[in-house]
């Protein structure tokens, strides 16, 4: 293994970075963050990184200090003469703000890309972006990974006899279509209308789920309102059972309680975001081996797309 590869992490994603480094075959590099009384903080690399390829692991969910910490680590690596600086962002925050959906609002996803580029990042590795076009916001290479490489084997192992894939909204049509095609089954779509963010006012099911074992597929679960409402409609429409797979488990507010009180039998999520609390219904699948393999392929200049035979 190349001695010039070093993996570091911000505070938020250290639990995952340790697993990635272990899977890659090296120790996680040492970062110290000093907190000041006024709320400022200063991260620093506590080892020599001159001429090294530096992979910095940090998800950018709230609070915004997680993003700022990543930016400061990138800047520190650049000023310490790292050869290459790659940001491994398991969950890319602000991705839902990828367009102007009303007047006088920011396109925050583009702003995040600008900030990362200005800080000095030279490559981005991320998983299941909320919108594929966000890759175009960057002027550096983006390796967009798919959680399908983790979830498809999980679904196959479940061995559901009458499997149907479902999307909780029309935005996920392409995603569920890909899963359904690979698994050789049908898919249905839930059409939703929101009056305001995180609140679904109406929802309708497009497709037949009678007698089927349904699996809802989504990239992000936030408050759980959309997903649990979709699960209720699916069961009311005659399904045998309903499960869910979601890449990024934000679990805001009372999301866990909603899931536990819903007809969802189980939910599989990844570890891109640490769980706020455990639930018997929630199963966490690790992304560490996937990210470690991608880091190896970046270093050896091998194909990354070939990893995703379930690709979307």
For residue 7, what is the enclosing H or E element? Answer: strand 5-9
3-state DSSP helix/strand/coil percent for the chain, to nearest 5? 35, 25, 40
Q: How far apart are CA 248 and CA 184, in angstroms?
A: 25
Half-sphere exposure of 200 (CA within 13 A, CB side): 17
Give which of 70, 241, 228 is closest to 164, Cα–Cα.
241
Residue 123: beta bridge partners?
Answer: 86
Q: Which residues are the active-site residues?
A: 192
Q: How far apart are CA 73 and CA 189, in angstroms?
A: 41
Rama region for 180: left / alpha / beta (φ>0; ψ in -120 to 50; rest): alpha
Give which of 265, 253, 196 is closest to 222, Cα–Cα.
253
CA 15 to chain centre: 15
Q: How far apart are CA 64 and CA 60, in angstroms?
A: 7
Residue 221: beta bridge partners?
Answer: 249
Rama region for 309: left / alpha / beta (φ>0; ψ in -120 to 50; rest): alpha
C-alpha dihedral sign at 162, 168, 173, 176? negative
C-alpha dihedral sign at 202, 204, 210, 216? negative
Furthest-apart CA pair in the chain: how many Å? 61
């Amino acid at each position: 293994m190349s001695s010039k590869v070093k993996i570091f992490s911000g505070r938020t994603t250290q639990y995952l970075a340790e697993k990635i480094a272990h899977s890659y075959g090296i120790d996680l590099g040492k970062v110290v963050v000093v907190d000041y009384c006024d709320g400022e903080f200063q991260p620093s690399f506590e080892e020599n990184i001159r001429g090294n390829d530096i992979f910095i692991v940090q998800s950018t969910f709230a609070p915004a200090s997680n993003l700022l910490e990543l930016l400061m680590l990138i800047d520190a690596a650049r000023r310490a003469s790292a050869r290459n600086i790659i940001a491994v962002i398991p969950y890319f925050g602000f991705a839902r703000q990828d367009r102007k959906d009303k007047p006088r609002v920011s396109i925050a996803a583009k702003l995040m890309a600008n900030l990362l580029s200005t800080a000095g990042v030279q490559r981005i590795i991320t998983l299941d972006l909320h919108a594929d076009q966000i890759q175009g916001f960057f002027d550096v290479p983006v390796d967009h990974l798919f959680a399908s490489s983790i979830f498809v084997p999980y679904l196959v192992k479940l061995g559901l006899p009458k499997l149907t894939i479902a999307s909780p909204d029309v935005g996920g049509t392409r995603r569920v279509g890909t899963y359904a095609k690979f698994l050789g089954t049908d898919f249905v779509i839930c059409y939703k209308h929101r009056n305001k963010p995180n609140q679904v006012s109406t929802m309708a099911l497009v497709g037949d789920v009678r007698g089927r074992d349904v699996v809802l597929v989504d990239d992000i679960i936030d408050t759980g309102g959309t997903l649990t409402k979709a699960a209720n409609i699916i069961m009311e429409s005659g399904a045998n059972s309903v499960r869910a797979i979601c890449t990024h488990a934000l679990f805001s507010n009372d999301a866990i309680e909603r899931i536990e009180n819903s007809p969802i039998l189980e939910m599989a999520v990844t570890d891109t975001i640490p769980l706020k609390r455990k639930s018997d219904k929630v199963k966490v699948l690790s992304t560490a081996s996937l990210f470690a393999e991608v880091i190896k392929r970046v270093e050896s200049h091998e194909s990354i797309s070939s990893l995703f035979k379930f690709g979307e």
